[in-house]
Amino acid sequence: MLVNGQHYRTIWMDETDPRVIRIIDQRLLPFEFVVEDLRTVEDVAR
């Protein structure tokens, strides 16, 4: 996905902290572009 000239995947590991998963919150598209950091099982389940 290309956003403002930058390539994104829908889900990826944070480059600086491999314990963090980053996702595009697709519930908000196409009106907002928000990247969420998932650090715990609770973050994934919400």
**Residue range 1-46, pLDDT digits in tens:** 889 999 999 999 999 999 999 999 999 999 999 999 999 999 999 8
Domain count, the chain: 1
> Which structural domain, as residue segments, surrounds residue 23?
2-45
Can you tell me which residue has the tokens 């998932």? Answer: 38
- 1, HSE (Cβ side, Cα atoms, 13 Å): 13
- Residue 12 in 3-state DSSP? strand
30: cis peptide before it, omega within 30°?
Answer: yes
User: E strand or H helix at 43, and its extent?
Assistant: helix 41-45
The pLDDT of residue 41: 96
